[in-house]
Amino acid sequence: MANTRLFNTLDARLPAIDTCNQNGAGAYAYGARHQLAQLAVTGCLNQTYYADAQDQLDRVLALASELDAAFVTRTAIYARQQGHMKDMPALLVAALAAQRSSLLPSAFAKVIDNGRMLRTFVQILRSGATGRKSLGSQPKRLVQDWLNNASERQLLQAAVGRQPSLADLVKMVHPKPNTAWRAAFFAWLLGKPVAADALPPLTRDLLAFRSGASDELPDVPHLLLGNRQLSAQQWAELGRRMGWQALRMNLNTLARHGALALPGVAEELADRLADAQAVAKARVYPYQLLTAYRMAGADVPQVIRNALQSALEHSLQNVPALKGSVVVCPDVSGSMGSPVTGYRQGATTAVRCIDIAALVAAAILRQQPLARVMPFERDVVNVQLNPRDSVMSNAGKLAAIGGGGTNCSAPLARLADERARVDTLILVSDNESWIDGKRHGATQTLHQWERIKRVNSQARMICIDIQPYGTTQAKDRQDILNVGGFGDAVFDVMTQFADGRYDARHWVRMIESMEI
């Protein structure tokens, strides 16, 4: 009898591996559009476990040059509006500027939606990374228009931050102010003499507070207040004025300055954090709430911690209640311990890839209590989860496993051996499988998926790729979807695909459908 390992009729029907992953094991390469989509929604332009920031930058710019400008524009818009990304969409707009694309104004209008994005766009363009170091006439006009149409509050918010500062931008593009107050504001920003009564009201209030002429807190970003020592009561007032996201990110600061210890303040701010409508309006990611919960210091009251957990539950409204037999397979191998947004000196996030995988699994378990969760590394790891526990608690149990090599096919092989019923299988990984690595034929993941399909002909598999390495263990087809990211938009795509409403190219088609 011929060697069935060499002459396998099942493997003969499956696509052969066409590339290698970062570990040198067999894998499937994404197409150019899928690669750019993945980089735009998951890329961080920082050092990750397997790739450095320069690799990501080079790949994005190569793809932006290779693909048509319309798709690049739509990808930038999708990454900003649906993925809520920052640096990547700004980079794509800068790439369009370097190419002198006629679609630049459309991309700029929909992506550069606040002062931080404006400064990031200018920083990237002037760095020379996209092939030019000057703004050029069209980008210069777009920046001028932004400065001349922004409200006083937007300008003050844009004044927080450097490299470049808002003053640097004004010096670069020389906007011609269209109102007297704007002319006075720009003059003040550049350090030129200007009459106080010519300035707009918020700026006047800010200067009065900075000089000590007024003790009333101005309604401006707290980072603009200067070096005045604030009382606990004033910090509490700042907390009340902060936007939802700013409040989430400044809990330790408020606690350090005694604001949360004042009677009733912690409870008041907790009510804001736990408000469902405020959570929805803030477009907050579940992982951002996980970060806030983790980073909360010992002096942050428990009522605030409880509010963060409630906010996390609200943020999971887009998690699908999938039908039938659902299996979630979070990768808990060693490489998943890397920060989800990469390593940044002095600013590395506390959230790891394994936290995202665990969060996805715990969130789906909350919506589908009968879902089976099968964490894996070299093999499947047995863990008991209670669907009634909080998402934060179950995510913590999964994330605490950690370590070992990566074997993406392990949970699929167990399901196939059990002849288990599977309607939807969700694999959350960085796709750097090597324990089951092959050099020829199909990947083990695809091979084991075919065994599952023999018993479950209508089953569908969704592979959520946490970091942008450009390869997968299961090639796109009618019953397999590869999607990148860890935001709410991924849950939308997942629901539609699992219901059979869209095919494997649905994620890219969602981007292609974005209005320019």
C-beta separation of 443 from 482 below 8 A: no
- Whether 173 has a pLDDT exceeding 50, the answer reads yes
- Residue 7: predicted pLDDT: 47
Burial (CB count within 10 angstroms: exposed 0-12, middle 13-18, buried 19+), residue 201:
exposed
pLDDT tens column, 260-276: 999 999 999 999 999 99
What is the predicted pLDDT for the residue at 352? 82
Q: Report whether 107 contacts 96 (CB < 8 A).
A: yes
Residue 6: predicted pLDDT: 47
Query: What would the mean pLDDT of 16-32 be, rounded to a whole number?
Result: 89
Q: Angle 15-20-24 (CA atoms, 0-180°, nearest 5)?
A: 135
Tell me the percentage of the chain whose pLDDT exceeds 90: 50
Answer whether residue 9 shows pLDDT above 60: no
Mean pLDDT of 28-37: 89
Using alpha carbons, select from 351, 358, 408 the residue that is nearest to residue 383.
358
Give the best-scoring range by mean pLDDT among 80-94, 352-366, 408-422. 408-422
Q: Is the pLDDT of residue 349 over 70?
A: no
> pLDDT at position 459, please?
95
| N- to C-terminal Cα separation, the chain | 60
In the chain, what are the domain boundaries? 15-28+318-512
DSSP-H helix ranges across 127-196: 137-149, 152-158, 166-173, 180-189
In 3D, which of 116, 223, 227 has the Cα closest to residue 164? 116
**Beta strand pairing call for 19-20 and 26-29:** antiparallel
Give the pLDDT band (50/70/90) at residue 47. Answer: low
Backbone angles phi, psi at 46, to 5 degrees: -135, 170
Q: What's the average model confidence in pLDDT over 442-468?
A: 93
Closest by Cα among 113, 13, 15, 22 to 470? 22
**What span, in angstroms and rounded, lies between the C-alpha atoms of 146 and 170?**
11
What single letter denotes the amino acid at residue 472? Answer: T
Residue 302 makes CB contacts below 8 A (sequence gap 6+) with none
Q: What is the mean pLDDT of residues 315-320?
A: 75
- Put simply, whether the predicted model's pTM sits higher than 0.85 gets the answer no
Q: Output the pLDDT for position 466.
A: 84
Average pLDDT, the chain: 88
355-410 pLDDT per residue, tens:
888 888 888 888 889 999 999 999 999 988 888 888 888 888 888 887 889 999 99
Residue 429 has pLDDT above 80, yes or no: yes
pLDDT of residue 347: 56
470 compared with 11, residue with greater pLDDT: 470
The Cα–Cα gap between 249 and 307 comes to: 14
Element counts in the chain: helices (H) and strands (E): 25, 8
CB 270 within 8 A of CB 310: no
- The CATH code of domain 15-28+318-512 reads 3.40.50.410
What's the average model confidence in pLDDT over 220-227?
82
- List of E strands, 314-399: 326-330, 372-373
Q: How far apart are CA 291 and CA 208, in angstroms?
A: 36
Note whether 401 and 304 are within 8 A (CB): no
